[in-house]
Amino acid sequence: MNILTFDIEEWFHILDNESTRTESDWSKYPSRIYENMNKLFQLLEENNVKATFFCLGWIAKKYPKIIQQIVERGYHIGSHSNLHPLVYEMTPEKFEEDLRISLDKLEQAAGRKVDSYRAPGFSITKDALWSFEILHKYGIKYDASIFPAERSHGGIPVLKTPEPFILRYNNIELKEFPINYYASLGQKLIFSGGGYFRILPYPVIKKFFTKGNYNMTYFHPRDFDPNQPIIPGLNGVRKFKSYVGLKGAYKKLDKLIKDFKFVDLNEANSQIDWVNAKIVDLSNLN
């Protein structure tokens, strides 16, 4: 099973950078969202493939037409938060407020209930598991926030479940679609989205996709925009992660979509035998 998803945010929504941290900072940068979304729509429609779009509430507020186009073209929509914060830096109260606003803005623009969520930067760590209770409270059924490997924004590396499972925390359950990895020599190799996808040669990516029974992608509009400006003040590591491989990424994604069959999160959910799915209880995770 290969699941195609995109995190819908602007090109300047870069984490861990002071000049792009707040909403007031974002007004300093020109928008590229329409141009980049049109490229993605064209690619998906040429290949007749569906996808799930995890969108910022901020995008829905500022560019509601983007959300309307996603829905009108028949794609599944989810939340990617409101203002792109890292979950582990928030209090439960702040997280709930951000989620509530996100769902309100997205549902107003989409005209439908939003049932899925992905945290910015996969930033639900073992110290922020309380967020799952809040997601459940607001009607989220599918989560795609767990990164079961080491990561600059935390992740939950102790988990060894790179496949869909029932996530149990205290008294709630969610259907979890984590990021997958390719295991080699005791290492967890990530390859299915973001900078990992852009930097790896396509034959390596194709090999990893072929070996896996479950692959969860996570792309961003900026991953396929080689003409985006370089944000001033980025350190070397952050600049490399944000801009490496942009020129060839669109063609690489086109090859991937042609070489493998992809579904959106809704279709993936219908194909999984949840009655017999693995249950992972995170209540006592340490």
- Residue 139 placed within a domain: yes
Contact 252, 217 (CB under 8 A): no
Per-residue pLDDT of 192-202, as tens digits, reads 999 999 999 99
Residue 286 has pLDDT above 70, yes or no: no
Whole-number Å distance between alpha carbons of 125 and 276: 26
pLDDT of residue 96: 98
Residue 63 lies in a domain: yes
Query: Which tens digit of pLDDT belongs to each residue from 139-182?
Result: 999 999 999 887 777 788 888 878 999 999 998 999 999 999 99
- The predicted structure's pLDDT at residue 23: 85
Of 62-76, 128-142, 271-285, which range is least confident? 271-285
Q: Which of 178, 122, 128 lies closest to 153 in space, CA to CA?
A: 122
Alpha-carbon dihedral sign for residues 225, 226, 230, 235: positive
Q: Whole-prediction pTM value?
A: 0.95
What per-residue confidence (pLDDT) applies to 249? 96
Looking at residue 164, the DSSP 8-state letter turns out to be -
For the stretch 191-245, pLDDT in tens is 999 999 999 999 999 999 999 899 999 999 999 999 999 988 888 888 888 889 9
How high is the pLDDT of residue 119? Answer: 97
What CATH number did the domain enclosing 131 receive? Answer: 3.20.20.370
For the chain, the domain total comes to 1
Residue 162 lies in a domain: yes
Q: Is residue 183 part of a domain?
A: yes
Q: Rounded CA gap, 34 and 87, in Å? A: 27
In a domain, 90, yes or no: yes
Mean pLDDT of 118-127: 94
Does position 183 have pLDDT exceeding 90, yes or no?
no
Residue 66 lies in a domain: yes
Residue 9 has pLDDT above 90, yes or no: yes
Going by pLDDT thresholds of 50, 70 and 90, the confidence category of residue 272 is: very high
> Which residue from 190, 143, 130 is spatially nearest to 162, judged by alpha carbons?
190
Q: Which residue has the tokens 């669109």?
A: 250
User: CA-CA distances (angstroms) from residue 282 to 82, 134, 180, 220?
Assistant: 25, 15, 18, 29
Structure tokens at 157: 């590396």
pLDDT at 225 (0 to 100)? 96
Q: Is 81 left (phi over 0), alpha (psi -120 to 50) or beta?
A: left
Q: Is residue 127 part of a domain?
A: yes
Residue with tokens 């997205």: 106
Task: Establish if 286 belongs to a structural domain.
Answer: no
Residue 143's domain spans which residues? Answer: 2-281
Range 115-142 average pLDDT: 96
Tell me the mean pLDDT in the region 73-95: 96
Is the pLDDT at 19 greater than 80, yes or no?
no
> What does the pLDDT read at residue 106?
98
54-73 pLDDT per residue, tens: 999 999 999 999 999 999 99
Give, in order, the Cα–Cα distances in Å from 153 to each of 90, 120, 128, 157.
13, 9, 12, 11
Annotate 78-110 with b (16+ C-beta within 10 A) or e (fewer).
bbbbbbbbbbbebeeeebbebbebbbebbbebb
